[in-house]
Amino acid sequence: MLGGRILYGGDYNPDQWLEHPEVLEQDVRLMKESKVNCVSLGIFAWAALEPEEGVYQMDWLDRLITRMEEEDIQIILATPSAAMPHWLTQRYPEVMQVQADGRRNLPGKRHNFCYTSPVMREKTKAIDRELSRRFGRRKNVILWHISNELGGNFADSVCHCEYCQAAFRKWLKKKYGTLQNLNQAWWNYFWSHNYTDWEQIHSPVPNGETTSTALLLDWRRFSTEQIHDFYQMEVQAVREYSELPATTNFMYFFKGLDYNRMKHGVDVISWDNYPFWHKRKDEVPSAVKAAANHNIMRALKRQPFLLMESTPSAVSWREYNPLKRPGMNMLAGMQAIAHGSDSVLYFQWRKGRGGYEKFHGAVLDHKNGTNTRVFREVTELGERLAGLGEKIQGTVNRPKAAILFDWENWWAVEDTQGPRLDIKYVKTILSHYRAFWEQGIEADLIGMDEPLDDYLLVSAPMNYLYKDGYADRVRAFVESGGVFVTTCFSGMVNETDLCFTEQHPLEDVLGVIQEEIDAPSEEFENSFHYDGKTYPAKFLCEISHAKEDTEVLASYEEDFYAGYPAVTCHPFGKGSAFYLAAGSDQEFLRVFYRDVFRKAGVENALRAKLPYGVTTAERIADDGTRIVFVMNFKNEPVIVEDIGIWTDAETQEQYEDALQMKPFECLVLTKQKTDGN
Amino acid sequence: MLGGRILYGGDYNPDQWLEHPEVLEQDVRLMKESKVNCVSLGIFAWAALEPEEGVYQMDWLDRLITRMEEEDIQIILATPSAAMPHWLTQRYPEVMQVQADGRRNLPGKRHNFCYTSPVMREKTKAIDRELSRRFGRRKNVILWHISNELGGNFADSVCHCEYCQAAFRKWLKKKYGTLQNLNQAWWNYFWSHNYTDWEQIHSPVPNGETTSTALLLDWRRFSTEQIHDFYQMEVQAVREYSELPATTNFMYFFKGLDYNRMKHGVDVISWDNYPFWHKRKDEVPSAVKAAANHNIMRALKRQPFLLMESTPSAVSWREYNPLKRPGMNMLAGMQAIAHGSDSVLYFQWRKGRGGYEKFHGAVLDHKNGTNTRVFREVTELGERLAGLGEKIQGTVNRPKAAILFDWENWWAVEDTQGPRLDIKYVKTILSHYRAFWEQGIEADLIGMDEPLDDYLLVSAPMNYLYKDGYADRVRAFVESGGVFVTTCFSGMVNETDLCFTEQHPLEDVLGVIQEEIDAPSEEFENSFHYDGKTYPAKFLCEISHAKEDTEVLASYEEDFYAGYPAVTCHPFGKGSAFYLAAGSDQEFLRVFYRDVFRKAGVENALRAKLPYGVTTAERIADDGTRIVFVMNFKNEPVIVEDIGIWTDAETQEQYEDALQMKPFECLVLTKQKTDGN
Amino acid sequence: MLGGRILYGGDYNPDQWLEHPEVLEQDVRLMKESKVNCVSLGIFAWAALEPEEGVYQMDWLDRLITRMEEEDIQIILATPSAAMPHWLTQRYPEVMQVQADGRRNLPGKRHNFCYTSPVMREKTKAIDRELSRRFGRRKNVILWHISNELGGNFADSVCHCEYCQAAFRKWLKKKYGTLQNLNQAWWNYFWSHNYTDWEQIHSPVPNGETTSTALLLDWRRFSTEQIHDFYQMEVQAVREYSELPATTNFMYFFKGLDYNRMKHGVDVISWDNYPFWHKRKDEVPSAVKAAANHNIMRALKRQPFLLMESTPSAVSWREYNPLKRPGMNMLAGMQAIAHGSDSVLYFQWRKGRGGYEKFHGAVLDHKNGTNTRVFREVTELGERLAGLGEKIQGTVNRPKAAILFDWENWWAVEDTQGPRLDIKYVKTILSHYRAFWEQGIEADLIGMDEPLDDYLLVSAPMNYLYKDGYADRVRAFVESGGVFVTTCFSGMVNETDLCFTEQHPLEDVLGVIQEEIDAPSEEFENSFHYDGKTYPAKFLCEISHAKEDTEVLASYEEDFYAGYPAVTCHPFGKGSAFYLAAGSDQEFLRVFYRDVFRKAGVENALRAKLPYGVTTAERIADDGTRIVFVMNFKNEPVIVEDIGIWTDAETQEQYEDALQMKPFECLVLTKQKTDGN
């Protein structure tokens, strides 16, 4: 557990207040008051740390770190590459990104640097080394925070400059060896697209190539590689005088970077979580989305992670920004811990007086000092986490189920042409995960390269692209007893978006033969009958043929494909494979997965049926101690029944059979081995 | 009849499979199995045919043509200019279009070449001549397919490069002679827009001129001319060693090019038809739109045309892409024949493994070989067409009615400012044509330059722009007995978008004096009473005055123009002119045209009242033999009553009085002279 | 009163008809017939006046002015800078604006000149002086019309060229002195945005800086300054040989320019009014918007203004353009007079035959001469105004209430990030003003720099930004007895968008302490109870604390802030301050302001309760004579009751107690001193 305790605090920008020493002193005092024990420093402070090229001015930071040390506040120290100072962009315009329209950015905003530019790398390395030299061995500095939200640049994440074009070509040469290989892999004889000279290759841009899906895919892969390379360069630089671990803060379902690739070289996964609470009275969709993303982050290394940013109140960038209702800050913070976070960190400690984020929620507002609801609620959570640290020390969630969530698949399935153009991969994944969450079943959200052995159940919705070796891993998984679920429009293409011919790579496992895919209009929506009820069949309706030993669980009821299978289950080896030929709705997925869970033998921590809005998550210690979090996302009291006997890990209160929960409450339970569960 | 039979087959891209000879051989075998007798070859094969500048590699094509010849498969041979190889764009960037924002395209996609560029013309000519030399006299090559879907370039069809600007100025100089003439014709003293130097003229672009409607109009005319000139250049090139006819495939209500102008030099009209079947359960709107477009194509030369592309299954480029329901492929193919096509050709024979169109419907899918519904339905149609060829040999549709559909009018009425900016010319035309279709009345959709003498009825909805001489032709047509229909916002401007002053050019014919045009908001919609029913008056409501001898068939009922005429009929010479001052709805048009048809003496081939969803079309041989197609676009059985006595042209079955039709059925009837009809 | 009479007429473009002298002669004749007594000449005539650089051709204008003089038609003479001739843009491309994407415009459209360009200024000055020399002392020329709708350039109003960048930096240097001052004022340490060289500063553009709200604000201020400077340059030029007053026509709620700044140097305010009449049957929203804008214009100098443009019929640029219903032209014209205009001028006298505005409403249409409804209605109003001139001579409206409407506030509140991004300042202002209008209460719409002493009531909705000194002026106003109304999200930031800390600048006056602002989603909308009824609380709901002596008039009823004040009133000095913490609806504002008016002692001219759709406005002469306009914006008869005794100023008819009004009628009443009101 990094820092030896649950880290509590967040982004702190003293560089905005250097001319107000009384503010800085007040900050320290109020951090203590609110139980803050950790701050992230220097994230956008390049201009304050290096006001002129090569002239470092770090004494203010030194004094601050010392002051924090006196108060036992730990520090996550950032490298400042996320926001370039004006002297840099003025003297070296090459450090700024070139957008897809071929125009180089002008100075401004943030995150908009070219990660290939030699000058950018040189200047970044220089200040990183200086930070490392000055602060890399300070006792209360515990982690390097490399740059900020890499790829999040107000545009399409990437740079199209000549340096990047050259690097892209070099990367392709290394990958494919010859142009012939590349032309074949990309199916370039289509529309006379085959290249005869490496120099002909250019990143996909609106007034150039946008129709070559394999190019799109490799360009996205390259962008991840290149940004990862920049990250690694920075890690190397800060390691010059320091042995601290490094992280970089990931984002909320961020399509621009493949975090399964980015994670290499990241010692501790961390991310920024901004769910849209209170969009609807029903908070479940937001809770599900946040939970899914926590699980992605945890599954990247199957280890605890850090919640690096969250708002203690409202954000400022949505069309409208509701205040977090009382209790939601506590619940959302506990949700992070429940799903594997070892921290609750906020953006931001104090609202700035000016600039783009002056109205973004903060622990301290412009007015009223500590006499605010927000400050009181932040303090309350600080106190709770202080007591909880020891209990979760060394624990991590160990789900028996996994859902495949893979960036390459995301990219490929949304870039392809047909059968529909409005496929939303994340939405699909969330609709499946929601069925898990509602039944309290934990799941890792994992990429296609991950081992499947630890799971009883793996679900792979809309798994359009199959990486090399993936089908074999799934086959082995099912053969040895696993339960596998997948859907139509899966197993369509290989890694370069070439369609499989002959047969589906898992046809033997799935027991179905695909023929056609209908994308019906609203008036042509179909239906099927499952477990006594009729459900809609829509969005994508595959017409396929069940093999002899395949159990048809539901069939289409209308149109020319009435009678064709909509839902099947096929025994294979010691396991089974479910197949959803028909797209359907949330209600069906709930019922369907209930049966899948039963077949796979997975159940929730309480072994209880959970009321709507309640879910569970469980962190397990190496010695088997179970810490179970029960969360009520309804702003009303609920009762969870038939739970057996549990002890409240915080109050030691004993619960028998039923659990009375308050609105937005999170209870932390534990069980002695002798409790017999 | 080109090729001596109904051509059946479609786009074939063996260049994507050259490394898979077994696939190529399978293709030939399956073509025979499905009754395919014609393929279009080489449409995007430039890179395969000329892998390096000046190095031709055409043996593969030679072998293929030979193989096809052995199997009696005819070939439509394409010039490959639609997709430029990378060596060409790399060495000569000028071949790529400059977009309206002044930026030259980068390589990629297709169709994006500059049709003015001397290099592009030179390189195109060279490969065209080589194709001509090698294959222009091959026995089974029957037609040149020049380029592909000219103008369809993912953007605004046209190029704004300096070559094009110079050509535009030259074209204007030729047209207007002096700048004074041009300034007057374009009304350039408005906003000080008059030119004092030809070099001041620039194509309309967003950051330059967009408000000069006459400039917009002439730029569109020029673009058609220039693309037509490119087409002619290619025709000349392929004619070097060949005497085959030439075509280029037109598109679905394509605004970019005036096909009435493009048709000159096109020996056989051909086009690509992609209706949105199964968008709604009611297929009539899609059927009407396809029918209208077929009729445009047929009317271009008043001759049979070729259906060059269609999908045997689904397309891949709409937001969602439903599968063609069983029977629809047959019906849509028969619809083409019924409206004058001598072919049914598909895009595409076989789905590619990769690239932008890999999921576009094809006769052969990635999997399952011939064991697919699609292959079976394709084969079924192939068999039917094989039997039908002889019967339709030498026949063509000869309607007695015409609807004016003119590109210059389309451009002008949608570019003008006021009275509404949301005028949709095609939508308007289709709503009028639908009244014809529903009553089984065939109509040619013709441009303003066409002779009107062959018709009993001419309808000209929203005929905003009057070309020189057009009003006189209409006057003569009515005078000699024709029935003419037109609407408000017609006869407003001349060829350079100058408003007519004094009076409407057909005021004497129409018998109404226009005063103002209201574009009422929803709450201000008006109404009128016609033949016992009230109909809405909306969208555009003209306030006009009826002349003394004008019969007012309906008057506005509300607002300050209550009592003013909404629908009138004016006798003129031996004919009459109907005038729709008020915009209305489909229901009114149905009733209105019923009366118009009666007045004009036009009726459908069966002389019967048709149930909803059923229409007829008729091809007539020089000897008067009538082949009548009765099509049921409902996916339900219907009965057509009171048809008299007909013989089924395919089965020789005799129908008396009533026709029982199956869902999506098309029957082909014929009548002996002695049948007495 | 300029010209000694109510000016009636409008934009006249004879330069489009110079080759048609018969048209010009007809124009003069018909102007007389329709009582037109004034035309605006030469607005876009640069090309006609200076066909080649330095070659002036003004005889045609001379002849026209002479002809007008003979007919007693007065002339507003325009400088022609709004539309550049092609010789100018061709030889000096620098005169064209550079857009935010860094690309210079190509020639075309209008208004798209760079107001900083030295060449543009030089060429403009030259022709302006020539116009001044030739016509500046002509007897019937009464006013200079400088350029046209400055800033209205089809894009974002401003130019980003290097001349403008340099001028911007110079302006900033003058304003801030040092970069340190600027960095502090703009809060530039945020995201390392502080400048170390003036050359680093660039206008806000999409691919550069868009997130620095203080930069945005100063850039908008600079743009106003620069365009104003251009205006002043032109005024100086036309004054060379002339002492006539000058104006420039302002626009409808035009965000681009701060008219409170622009007004300096404008001798007579004039503006172009294009309400969307007949969008709904309920004309009140359009009437309110037009009235508000009239009041802005009048309040700029607290003097009569000129209605420079309006349409006699329909416009041509909206999605759909309804005709003005009978009576609306009269009513809308009278509304202008009622709110302080000394003119009713149209765009345009005669429809051009071609160009962008050929279908824009005009007194004369393309056809039918004077035999049109429009011509008749125009003549009717002309006759009425001719009789009214003497009566309103020397009168002006003198409201007792004001609403704060400030451009800087508009810019700032819509550019800031959070708590919502969809704040529409004008919409908010109009909803408050509507409560005044509906109750017949006149109000000046004034900027933050205006003195408040003349008012009994000042309302400042969504007054986000407080200019220096403003809070003190409000405090003094309330202290001395004024009634002040303001809302949540007011008093947030200073002039450079820096948040106030410690406390709200008017906390002592308002008696509330702000804590947080909720931007609830639809499902989370709150409510409050006021005067016996429940109203919604929505959009922005501030949570604040009332001080001890603050009267809480309504409290939130739901959610966690139930019980917190929604509406308060705080006594301060001799006055009171109302505070709307909660956003609400129109119905609430109606009731709320009814109570506010009572408290402030303001009432309408008739001291009567007005039926829906009816409002009043009053012009008062120096001797106290009152001219009261009663306007009925319903297209139905209404009765206004309890009005006391009034005399019709036009007919001398006496009204007692009740006023019977026809649809769309405007009555002009007056009262003898002895009438006792």
Q: List, as one string, the DSSP characters of A75-109.
A: EEEEP-TTS--HHHHHH-GGGBPBPTTSPBPPS-S
Task: Band the pLDDT of C672: cuts 50, 70, 90.
Answer: low
- Residue A500 corresponds to which amino acid? F
pTM: 0.97
Which residue is it, tokens 């949570």?
Answer: C543
Q: Could you tell me the two tokens for A552?
A: 């048809």
Mean pLDDT across the stretch C145-155? 91
Letter string b/e over residues C422-453, b meaning 16 or more CB atoms within 10 A of that residue's CB? ebebbebbbbbbbbbbbbbbbbbbbbbebebe
Q: What is the mean pLDDT of chain A?
A: 97
Distance in angstroms (rounded) separating the CA atoms of residues A88 and A121: 12
Say which CATH class A401-600 falls into: alpha beta
A217-247 per-position pLDDT tens digit: 999 999 999 999 999 999 999 999 999 999 9
Predicted local distance difference test score (pLDDT) of residue A46: 98
Which chain B residue lies closest to A199 (C-alpha atoms)?
Answer: B90
Predicted local distance difference test score (pLDDT) of residue C674: 52
C465 Cα to chain A: minimum distance (Å)? 13
C317 labeled part of a ligand binding site: yes
Q: Could you tell me the two tokens for A388?
A: 């909880």
In this predicted structure, the answer to whether residue C476 has a pLDDT above a threshold of 50 is yes
**A37-268 and A401-600: identical CATH topology:** no
Sheet holding A306-309, edge to edge: A249-250, A270-272, A306-309
Q: Is B327 helix (H, G, I), strand (E, B) or coil?
A: coil
Question: CA B131, B133, B136, B139 torsion: positive or negative?
Answer: negative
Distance in angstroms (rounded) separating the CA atoms of residues A141 and A68: 10
A500-544 per-position pLDDT tens digit: 998 999 999 999 999 999 999 999 999 999 999 999 999 999 999
Question: Residues 200 to 229 of A: which have CB under 8 A from any B CB?
Answer: 200, 202, 204-205, 207-214
Cβ-based neighbours of B267, under 8 Å, separated by 6 or more: B245, B246, B247
Residue among B514, B515, B505 at smallest CA distance from B484: B505
Mean pLDDT across the stretch B516-535? 98
A373-429 per-position pLDDT tens digit: 999 999 999 999 999 999 999 999 999 999 999 999 999 999 999 999 999 999 999
B461-479 per-position pLDDT tens digit: 999 999 999 999 999 999 9
Q: Do A189 and B353 touch (CB under 8 A)?
A: no
Point out the annotated binding site of A for substrate. 110, 148, 317
B488 labeled part of a ligand binding site: no
Question: Mutation test of the interface with chain C: which of A57, A277, A321, choosing the one with the most C Cβ atoms within 10 A?
Answer: A321
What is the CATH code for A614-675? Answer: 2.60.40.1180
- Please return the burial class of A655, using the count of CB atoms within 10 Å of its CB with bins 0-12, 13-18 and 19+: middle
Task: Answer yes or no: A309 catalytic.
Answer: yes
- Within 8 A of A413 by CB-CB distance, chain B residues are none
Q: What is the mean pLDDT of chain B?
A: 97
Domain limits, chain A: 37-268, 401-600, 614-675
More confident residue, B668 or A673: B668
Which chain A residue lies closest to C101 (C-alpha atoms)?
Answer: A103
**Phi, psi (rounded to 5 degrees) for C307:** -80, 105
Q: Do C520 and A85 touch (CB under 8 A)?
A: no
B569 labeled part of a ligand binding site: no
Distance in angstroms (rounded) separating the CA atoms of residues C308 and C317: 18
In this predicted structure, the answer to whether residue A193 has a pLDDT above a threshold of 80 is yes
What is the CATH code for A37-268? Answer: 3.20.20.80
Q: Give pairs for A319-322: CB < 8 Å, separation 24+.
A: A319/C420, A319/C421, A319/C422, A320/C419, A320/C420, A320/C421, A320/C422, A320/C519, A320/C520, A320/C521, A321/C418, A321/C419, A321/C420, A321/C519, A322/A277, A322/A278, A322/A279, A322/C518, A322/C519, A322/C520, A322/C521, A322/C524
Predicted local distance difference test score (pLDDT) of residue C272: 98
Q: How far is CA C154 from the centre of its chain?
A: 19
- Within 8 A of B86 by CB-CB distance, chain A residues are 192-197, 200
B159 labeled part of a ligand binding site: yes
Predicted local distance difference test score (pLDDT) of residue C48: 98
Predicted local distance difference test score (pLDDT) of residue A156: 77
**Torsion over CA of A165, A166, A172 and A175, rounded to 10 degrees?**
-140
Mean pLDDT across the stretch C323-332? 98
Mean pLDDT across the stretch B534-557? 98
Predicted local distance difference test score (pLDDT) of residue B156: 77
Task: Band the pLDDT of A671: cuts 50, 70, 90.
Answer: confident
Which H or E run includes B213? helix B213-238
- Within 8 A of B200 by CB-CB distance, chain C residues are 86-87, 89-90, 107
Angle at A376 between CA A375 and CA A381, to 5 degrees: 100
Q: Do A106 and C207 touch (CB under 8 A)?
A: yes
User: Of the listed B130, B225, B234, B309, which one is catalytic?
Assistant: B309
Q: Is A521 on the interface with B (CB under 8 A)?
A: yes
> Complex ipTM, two decimals?
0.96
In this predicted structure, the answer to whether residue B53 has a pLDDT above a threshold of 50 is yes
**Phi, psi (rounded to 5 degrees) for A454:** -75, -5
In this predicted structure, the answer to whether residue B416 has a pLDDT above a threshold of 50 is yes
Q: Is B523 on the interface with C (CB under 8 A)?
A: yes
Verify cis geometry, omega within 30 degrees of 0, for the bond prior to C107: no
Which chain B residue lies closest to C90 (C-alpha atoms)?
Answer: B200
How far apart, in Å, are the Cα atoms of A172 and each of A185, A218, A223, A413, C456? Answer: 12, 8, 12, 22, 75
Q: Is B548 on the interface with C (CB under 8 A)?
A: no
- Within 8 A of B514 by CB-CB distance, chain C residues are 367
Neighbours of chain C (3+ CB pairs under 8 A): A, B
Q: Are C269 and C297 in contact (CB under 8 A)?
A: yes
In this predicted structure, the answer to whether residue A673 has a pLDDT above a threshold of 60 is no
How far apart, in Å, are the Cα atoms of B189 and each of A473, B318, C25, C28? Answer: 75, 45, 19, 20
B371-396 per-position pLDDT tens digit: 999 999 999 999 999 999 999 999 99
Task: Answer yes or no: A507 catalytic.
Answer: no
Residue B575's DSSP bridge partners are B572
Predicted local distance difference test score (pLDDT) of residue C483: 98
Question: Residues 314 to 343 of A: which have CB under 8 A from any C CB?
Answer: 314-323, 325-326
Which H or E run includes C127? helix C118-135
Mean pLDDT across the stretch B362-370? 97
| Number of inter-chain CB pairs under 8 A, B vs C | 189
